A and B are shown apart, each in its own frame.
Chain A
Amino acid sequence: MREFRLATGGLTTVNASLTLTFVNPIAAPNVNLEFLRFWVGQSLNATSAQQRVEVVTQVTAFPTLVSQTPSKLKLTDAVSVITGATTGAAGTCGVNASAEGAGAKTVTYDDAFNVLTGFLHVPTLAETLIAPAGFASGIGLFLPAAPVWGTTGGSWGLVYREV
């Protein structure tokens, strides 16, 4: 199956809670999205500290993002049905939100991690989050508090599969 990575590093973020990555399923009928991995890391802060992180769904209005095209994990695959955009609209994705949008967020996974070692969530087969085509919400990797390492030095991403 086709798998795609939306990985980001080297960007300057806002110094507040923010959506790191946002993927909104495409309108039905089309492929569903199964989320296989989420990660957050940083390389700037050498002091032990805890950072909260959440995987959320968000209805419209969506965050304002930096457009980024998903990269395919298998070189011979076609490109993803999800395309980069700044709006977070259906069928698009983006990173590094500059504004969160008014849409309500619902937490589907909540955790905290030490910033020295980062956060990696690799759900098992029974735990993966599946967002069907036509889903009214987008899926976001969200920091509910400002990153303790500051506005630079962070890296994060997710992997999804089209099913």
Chain B
Amino acid sequence: MSDAPIYNLKELPFMAPAGPHMPWADPQVVIPPALMIRDSEGATWTLGFDYDEREWRGGKYEYDVVRNGRVTGAYARRIECSVNSYGNRVVRIWGAEGWRTWNGRSFV
């Protein structure tokens, strides 16, 4: 992740970590229509701007998933803050590969 491409955070400040004063996102907050969510580590999640226009025209509109301004390599149409069966807050994405959960390094 540390070598992953990064968006211009000056142009897109909403992608940057907002700092400890901002609360975690409530469970079931979903992007979109939310713009970003903050997980329990204080990381900011949002959708980027990279997508496949041919797929989009076919109704499969997925965008790159961005964490703290860096692309994760995953594409999705939804990012959700959720609570798993252990009561922990997790970040999940929904896309062509179904639901996947962030394990701290990648979506599985």
Is A bound to B? yes
Residues of A within 8 A of B (CB): 1, 5, 7, 9-10, 37, 39-41, 43, 46, 71, 73, 111, 113-114, 116-122, 124-125, 155, 157, 159
User: Mostly helix, strand, loop or mixed at chain A's interface?
Assistant: strand
Q: Which residue of B lies closest to A7 (CB)?
A: B11
- B53 touches which of A1, A41, A114, A157 (Cβ 8 Å): A1
Q: Which of B12-30 contact A (CB under 8 A)?
A: 12-14, 16, 18-19, 21-23, 25, 29
A9 CA to B16 CA, complexed, in Å: 12
Task: Tell me if B47 and A120 are in contact (CB < 8 A).
Answer: yes
Can you add 6 more A-B contacts, CB < 8 Å, to A118-B36, A121-B32?
A: A10-B13, A39-B35, A113-B34, A117-B34, A122-B47, A125-B57
With the chains together, A1 CA to B18 CA distance in Å? Answer: 33
B49 at the interface (CB under 8 A from A): yes
Seen from chain B, the residues whose Cβ lies within 8 Å of a Cβ on chain A are: 10-14, 16, 18-19, 21-23, 25, 29, 31-37, 46-47, 49, 53, 56-57, 59, 61, 63
A74 to B57, CA, bound (A): 18
Q: Is the CB of A125 within 8 A of B56?
A: yes
A7 to B14, CA, bound (A): 10
Contact A41 B33 (CB under 8 A): no
How far is A119 from B32 in the complex, measured between Cα atoms in Å?
8
A43-B18, A124-B59 known; A71 and B11 CB under 8 Å? yes
Query: Which residue on A lies nearest to B11, using beta carbons?
Result: A7
| Pair A117/B25 contact, Cβ less than 8 Å | yes
Beta-carbon contact of B14 and A118 below 8 Å: yes
B49 with A5: CB separation less than 8 A: yes
- Cβ-defined contact, A125 with B59, below 8 A: yes
Given contacts A7-B11, A7-B12, A9-B12, contact A117 B36 (CB under 8 A): yes
Nearest residue in A to B9 (C-beta to C-beta)?
A9
Please name all residues of chain A whose beta carbon is closer than 8 Å to the beta carbon of B22 when the two chains form the complex: 43, 46, 116
Q: Can you pick out 20 interface pairs between chain A and chain B where the beta carbons lie within 8 Å of each other?
A: A1-B53, A5-B49, A39-B14, A39-B35, A40-B35, A46-B23, A113-B33, A116-B25, A117-B29, A118-B34, A118-B36, A119-B33, A119-B35, A120-B33, A120-B34, A120-B35, A122-B47, A122-B61, A155-B13, A157-B12
